[in-house]
Structure 1
Amino acid sequence: MKDLMVSVSGVRGVVGYSLTPEVATRFAAAFGTFIAGGMVVVGRDSRTSSPMLFHAVCAGLMASGCQILDVGMCPTPTVLLVSKKMKANGSIVITASHNPVEWNGLEFASGSGRLLTTEDQDQLSQIYQSGSIQLSPWNEQGRIEILETAIEIHLEQILNCHWINLERTHRRNLKVVIDAGNGAGSQISPVLLERIGCEVIQLHCTPNGLFPRSSEPTPEALIQLCKVVKAESADLGLAHDGDADRLVIVDQRGNALSSEYTFVLIADFMLREATKFTLDPTEDWHHRGTTSQVDLVATVSTSRMIDDVANRHNANLFRVPVGVGFVVEKMRQRSEQKQMSTGRILGGEGTGGVIFPELQYTTDGITAIAAIVQMLADSDQSISHHVEAFPQYAMHKMKIDVPSPKVAGQLLGRIAEILATNSEADLDLTDGVKRIWSDRWVNIRKSGTEPVIRIFSEAPSQAEAEQLCLQTSEHLNRLRSIQ
């Protein structure tokens, strides 16, 4: 629990143990060195440790000569969007996203809100570890400027999306319960819902850092939201994680949907509304024949429902390792290769994160709200109607605590060796080990945000998915016992 987690997702640790003011200041100074100074947008989530870490981060950035634009408490996608708009040299978000409340972290992005690549993160870590930090002299120290309109900037950008139709959303007048988990989405999401014509009921929208439920919006964490949706006869419920880069849905019956449905439903909506999916409404691509002009990028552990979406709309589907940064890298690569407009590519994860490149290249749980509401307004159908249009698969997720990421890597290496010579299933080693059969799969991978091994499975029934996870965990535990 005390290990500092350093990955493409940034730096995360338990406050007061692995994540200390000294660590935050040094990483911030290393980041200032990495980007060679300039403007850095800094925002934070609602965790009680975020103000302390904010001051530590500012010290490191100012010492390395960076000018800080403080956007206050706001979601991760808001910070990156402001960075893009301001053409900043970099950004730091103080957040641990979906991790438990005792955790916090730093998420870095380079110029104009561009997430760090694996190579960028390696270079930043090297600067941090080697101590090759460039500090500025007394007369070149950075300064802090405050920007109070970050949330308004994000709202304006969403409402200007080409697929938003306010007349329809206001006419539909959905009744929505929003559960922000007292996180960073507490201030922006209720306002967005009101502006697109919804009747809003707020649940856990006090951003005091005291999380009333798990900051990861799993179905088990959303029991109260489900009850309120049912009691209020609401059309749907929506829930965020700690920094609101994810969105999870509760249907009109009070059933919490798997987080997998967020990306699937939005991808289907965007591709189905083909004339809205291009930034040039005069360009006709309805008659594209057998050549796909749309790309979807998902992770190896995203539900095969995304394959159904791709097949339904003749889209290319690419799978990458788990992590927003990997999805973004592939999206940018495809965009540059094909010279595609941002309206012809969509990315996301099964965690409830969707990337809208029309706005920016990061998962955005706020824009996802607008997309779900617009989908319902356009179809005049319920959430359950859209869900039932897809083949039903069952997923199960487990995690196994390990002493360190190093131990996790050793276990995965060993199981990959064993399965490579003795497996009745196809193997995909894109991220950890994924075993694939004709009607099911299981993926074993080490987490980049916690000292755990994650096991995800998908099968025709819940019992089969759970059994697949259980068998895999037993195999891992046997390997641990003989190491």
Structure 2
Amino acid sequence: MNPYIFREYDIRGLAEAELTTEVAKAVGAAFGSYLGGSATVTVGRDVRLSSPRLNGDFSAGVRGSGCDVIELGMVPTPLVYYSVGKLGADASAAITGSHNPVEYNGFKLSKGQLSLFGSEIQEIRSIIDSESFTSGSGGSTEKSIESAYVEEIQGKIEIARSLRIAVDAGNGTAGPLILELMKRLGIEVLPLYCEPDGRFPNHLPDPTIPEYVEDLRKLVMSEQVDMGIGLDGDGDRIGAIDDKGRIIWGDQLVALFAGEILARNPGGTIIFDVKCSQGLEEHIRALGGRPLMWRTGHSLIKRKLNEEKALLAGEMSGHMFFADDYYGYDDAIFAAARLVALASRTERPLSALIDELPQYVSTPEIRLECPDSLKFQLVERLTEFFKRDHQVIDIDGARVLFGDGWGLVRASNTQPALVARFEARSDERLEEIRSEVLTRVASLKSEMVGTSHGK
């Protein structure tokens, strides 16, 4: 069993080579044992071709631990979270590879409404390694909750005027449900790749990557709709395009939602991850809110939102967590409905709302290949270096502050890579900061690779 499948936020790997039947059953048995062998677990899966097998293997392991399983079938991950409260379950598991390439898959595990992460996921691994499983004979039932889910969201959303939107579900799991919800809300939708297809024949389902939303952008422009909405493979991350064909980044979405939420809840806490713009923090303060920067990762952000009793949290990656009038988990279908409702309450185009936000120049995420064995140590050394002359926020990687901009380098928790992002007041200054930080990264990597090869 490859130990690297046990990631920071979930368990993830190559479906056939790493998540074998033996491994999937062991993960299920360990999760059931972690829950004490007497819990009720809801299990749902995404559209991937490997998901039915993994679902069957995992559920068999859970039942073997003594826990009961409620099978939800193929549903978006937010419905798996929703099922815990709706069906009175103790825990849940979403079998999903999210936005990763076709050959990957994984398990997102939650106890109550809180996702397991870090040491809790390592505890699952420890139970497997030590074979300290509980044993029993749990039962299995099937439940369908899609209708209840759509009806509940419909009841929370008020549309002030009809809109025309385009939706690209990336052939992921959430397409049919978002179309049904928008139809009930009276929104005219131009659907794009909304038929679930685990081969992802058109593009990978990641709405934060510009090339994967290019078809959506073209549709928005050619049909002159009010906005475009993109969903990831399992429906827990949202991307958006404004009426001018511009990508609305995750931090800009948080800023838009924060405006509405803080108007109703003055002084409320809004959480965002370390990749987000300095402009978001400024915007939240200007609205009278309490901005709180936290570590990247859906499990970590969800936990922090719960601890701080925050009203909203969001990540650059498109995970949006609403707790003002929702359950505090990341749900792209609900986020899409909130965005449409927000846009319907003004006669101004969405682009005008975006233009009012604080403006900085920034890079997209830059991924730098780096072995899993070196990436965390490299970030530690980078932090030490820049702390000599700069303020460094080190809650998650190194966010180096330059006064008129910043550079972030952090170890990816899902891939053998470093993730970098830069922001400044001008293009020229952006390039200076980017060059200074990445030159130091390259130097450290070269030095560390040389040292490791020399052993």
Query: What TM-score, normalized to structure 1?
Result: 0.87
Deviations 1:147-180 (A, max 9, x none): 12x222221221232xx224x2xxx221111000
| Per-residue deviation, 1:227 | 1.0
Identify which of structures 1 and 2 has the higher relative contact order when contacts are C-alpha pairs closer than 8 Å and 6+ apart. 1
- Classify the secondary structure of the residue corresponding to 1:65: coil
Q: Does 1:19 align with 2:12?
A: no
1:340 alignment counterpart: none
| Per-residue deviation, 1:466 | 5.2
Deviations 1:310-353 (A, max 9, x none): 11221111111111222222222222xxxxxxxx6211111112
| Per-residue deviation, 1:100 | 2.0
| Per-residue deviation, 1:464 | 4.3
Which stretch of the first structure deviates more once superposed, 188-197 or 152-161? 152-161
2:444 alignment counterpart: 479
1:151 alignment counterpart: 146
Mapping for residues 25-44 of structure 1, pairs under 5 Å? 25-36=25-36, 37-44=38-45
1:288 alignment counterpart: none
Deviations 1:394-428 (A, max 9, x none): 22211112222x3111211222222233x3x2111
* Conserved 8 A contact 1:321-1:430: yes
Match of 2:204 among 201, 214, 231: 214
Match of 1:165 among 146, 155, 158: 158
Deviations 1:93-136 (A, max 9, x none): 0112222222111000002x322254433432322332211122
- Classify the secondary structure of the residue corresponding to 2:307: helix
Paired letter, 1:478: S
1:369 alignment counterpart: 336
- Classify the secondary structure of the residue corresponding to 1:442: strand
Counterparts of 1:473 and 1:99, CA distance in 2:
26
1:203 alignment counterpart: 192
Provide the alpha-carbon RMSD of the alignment.
Answer: 1.9
Change (3 A) 1:441 1:361: same
Counterparts of 1:117 and 1:94, CA distance in 2:
16
Match of 2:169 among 177, 180, 186: 180
* Conserved 8 A contact 1:440-1:458: yes
1:227 alignment counterpart: 218
Change (3 A) 1:154 1:467: farther
Match of 2:242 among 251, 255, 268: 251
2:295 alignment counterpart: 321
Paired letter, 2:320: V
| Per-residue deviation, 1:253 | 2.3
Counterparts of 1:415 and 1:46, CA distance in 2:
40
* Conserved 8 A contact 2:170-2:206: no
Identity, in percent, stands at 29
* Conserved 8 A contact 1:398-1:469: no
Change (3 A) 1:71 1:469: farther
Equivalenced residues, count: 442
Counterparts of 2:349 and 2:3, CA distance in 1:
45
- Classify the secondary structure of the residue corresponding to 1:481: helix
Counterparts of 2:220 and 2:353, CA distance in 1:
18
* Conserved 8 A contact 1:5-1:448: no
Which stretch of the first structure deviates more once superposed, 410-419 or 55-64? 410-419
Counterparts of 1:451 and 1:154, CA distance in 2:
37
1:403 alignment counterpart: 371
1:289 alignment counterpart: none
Paired letter, 2:198: G
Counterparts of 1:346 and 1:26, CA distance in 2:
36
2:451 alignment counterpart: none
Q: Does 1:135 align with 2:130?
A: no
Q: Does 1:296 align with 2:270?
A: yes
Paired letter, 1:120: E
Match of 1:453 among 418, 428, 449: 418
Deviations 1:171-218 (A, max 9, x none): x22111100000011121111111111111110111111222122212
* Conserved 8 A contact 1:115-1:362: no
Paired letter, 1:372: L
Counterparts of 2:139 and 2:348, CA distance in 1:
52
1:414 alignment counterpart: 381
1:341 alignment counterpart: none
Change (3 A) 1:453 1:261: same
2:67 alignment counterpart: 66
1:359 alignment counterpart: 326
Unaligned runs of 5+ in 2: 449-455
Deviations 1:61-80 (A, max 9, x none): 11112211111111111110
* Conserved 8 A contact 1:455-1:469: no
* Conserved 8 A contact 1:219-1:257: no
- Classify the secondary structure of the residue corresponding to 1:188: helix
* Conserved 8 A contact 2:280-2:358: no
1:436 alignment counterpart: 401
Counterparts of 2:319 and 2:404, CA distance in 1:
25
Mapping for residues 257-276 of structure 1, pairs under 5 Å? 257-272=248-263, 274=264
- Classify the secondary structure of the residue corresponding to 2:229: strand
- Classify the secondary structure of the residue corresponding to 1:187: helix
Q: Does 1:332 align with 2:327?
A: no
Paired letter, 2:228: G
1:339 alignment counterpart: none
- Classify the secondary structure of the residue corresponding to 1:456: strand
Change (3 A) 1:464 1:17: farther
Counterparts of 2:435 and 2:79, CA distance in 1:
39
| Per-residue deviation, 1:19 | 2.6
Change (3 A) 1:23 1:466: farther
Counterparts of 2:436 and 2:88, CA distance in 1:
50
| Per-residue deviation, 1:467 | 5.2
* Conserved 8 A contact 2:400-2:408: yes
Match of 1:346 among 295, 301, 312: 312
1:338 alignment counterpart: none
- Classify the secondary structure of the residue corresponding to 1:410: helix
Change (3 A) 1:403 1:258: same
Unaligned runs of 5+ in 1: 278-284, 286-291, 336-343
Change (3 A) 1:305 1:24: farther
